[in-house]
Structure 1
């Protein structure tokens, strides 16, 4: 990346409950300590006070607000010539069944997790082309590979992100812009509901069809709440710091991988599905994940 901007624009750097897995904050700290000029962003910059205290530049950026995205890109471009690397990390997890979730909530999920990300990517591409290259890192998920009940719309945004990343990578390769997808296994403490009330489904139609399922859903995720000494399924999860280490590789490697699959589940399950076929893989999903 010699001769080009080293500035990193990272979205979703706060670790607000339900809005982040903590990977954005961990990545910002790791990259900053490695000497990269990091601009960590969030809807509420005051939530980034700890990062600012470390010397990291913090900015207001809401991926649902065109003005804030444009302002952030222009500021970085004025100071560094262009955004050198964009890390599309901002996302939240919408809980709800496909049939019961109000469509307005579905649209909001896609606006944040996909459309805002796409628009921000569009905003940084001209500067990257003008400087002769750049890098775009897309934070996907193991659930960009398959889906389970209760979070289908969130998982749909990650499936869509996979397609956007693959298409974009081929479109901008001639401009020396590299596009990388990150697919972590479940992250300890990330998007983990503490109670049924914590699922954030107050706007959903209450039919009672899934009451038992949601109680089981919360109990099942308890394994991922034990961040210090995980047991059971939690031992297969990954830590935010582990994901941040891989993000650093995606940013700094001369020849980054197309995909970084982090943790045993993320590496194993795609091969497993290909090997055993869809019907048997669905039996596995039914046996392992909460099912109504």
Structure 2
């Protein structure tokens, strides 16, 4: 049997705070290239613009088993199987390691890791039956190292790196390929306007790191979407840059294991190898907001 061409993409909703817009941009690019795309999100109303383009949109919440099963079943009924799964749904939890409530930490892993893992489990049988498929995992430059203030979010991206590498070896003999995408910070993605936007009202002792969080917000403003981003924003990437790479990862007959996007994910691993762990620690302290 031939591999299905149907693409299941999670996290396509716009305006929900769940993504940087790269999922929506990828859905449009792949649809316009002639691929059958199923763009999904928690809020189907937010997918109306994609539906108007002719893209099939569906409700799918990676924290809801029933919605995941229903989405995979519909695609399997219509195309035989999911041919490519693009695991894009995610959100960024702000907070320090010592003060973030554990229920929020668990919710972060439920969405970014456990939901992704369960949906991947659901599509694999159909891929095996059809003799091939592709699983694309949206990692991050922060799957390579971590900084203060988003350690739990970054831990989920580290976890995806391990899951992707392990899965690749496990499914290779079935003709299933696994690709990790590692973008630099994306302009407009997870950028707070104020400390209140960080959603830390329930955290322990919020005044403990007040000066850090004030600077954290100011520092991230360089990554706000604009035609001419200032300073640090110039090394960020745009949602459409990420979408182009996602399209390449889907359509290439021999995809790479990893696709770093932008200068930082290409340079920083080499830099760390050259200057060592302590030298890299000094770089992090010099470049990123530090308490």
TM-score (normalizing by structure 2)? 0.99
Whether contact under 8 Å (2:2, 2:131) holds in the other structure is no
Change (3 A) 1:226 1:82: closer
Which residue does the alignment assign to 1:95? 94
Answering whether residue 267 of structure 2 is matched by residue 273 of structure 1, we say no
Counterpart Cα distance in 2 of 1:116 and 1:242: 26
Which residue does the alignment assign to 2:222? 223
Counterpart Cα distance in 1 of 2:206 and 2:192: 21
Counterpart Cα distance in 1 of 2:114 and 2:176: 20
Tell me how far 1:16 sits from its aligned partner.
Answer: 2.4
Which residue does the alignment assign to 1:16? 15
Which residue does the alignment assign to 2:68? 69
Tell me how far 1:207 sits from its aligned partner.
Answer: 4.3
Counterpart Cα distance in 1 of 2:158 and 2:226: 27
Change (3 A) 1:134 1:226: closer
The aligned runs of 1:144-183 (5 Å cut-off) are 144-183=143-182
Tell me how far 1:201 sits from its aligned partner.
Answer: 1.1
Change (3 A) 1:59 1:17: closer
SS of residue in 2 equivalent to 1:269: helix
SS of residue in 1 equivalent to 2:157: helix
The aligned runs of 1:52-131 (5 Å cut-off) are 52-131=51-130
Which residue does the alignment assign to 1:140? 139
Change (3 A) 1:46 1:17: closer
Counterpart Cα distance in 2 of 1:274 and 1:116: 33
Whether contact under 8 Å (1:18, 1:192) holds in the other structure is no
Counterpart Cα distance in 2 of 1:55 and 1:207: 46
Whether contact under 8 Å (2:2, 2:132) holds in the other structure is no
Change (3 A) 1:63 1:17: closer
Structure 1 residues without counterparts, runs of 5 or longer: none
Counterpart Cα distance in 1 of 2:246 and 2:97: 32
Tell me how far 1:48 sits from its aligned partner.
Answer: 0.3
Tell me how far 1:187 sits from its aligned partner.
Answer: 0.2
Whether contact under 8 Å (1:17, 1:191) holds in the other structure is no
The aligned runs of 1:214-253 (5 Å cut-off) are 214-253=213-252
Counterpart Cα distance in 2 of 1:141 and 1:290: 19
* Structure 1 residues 226-270: Cα deviation after superposition (integer angstroms, max 9, x where no partner): 422111110100000000000011001111000000000111011
SS of residue in 1 equivalent to 2:207: coil
Counterpart Cα distance in 1 of 2:225 and 2:29: 23
SS of residue in 2 equivalent to 1:219: helix
Counterpart Cα distance in 1 of 2:16 and 2:173: 40
Change (3 A) 1:60 1:17: closer
SS of residue in 2 equivalent to 1:214: helix
SS of residue in 1 equivalent to 2:92: coil
Whether contact under 8 Å (2:97, 2:152) holds in the other structure is yes
SS of residue in 1 equivalent to 2:227: coil
Whether contact under 8 Å (2:161, 2:180) holds in the other structure is yes
TM-score (normalizing by structure 1)? 0.98
Change (3 A) 1:251 1:38: same
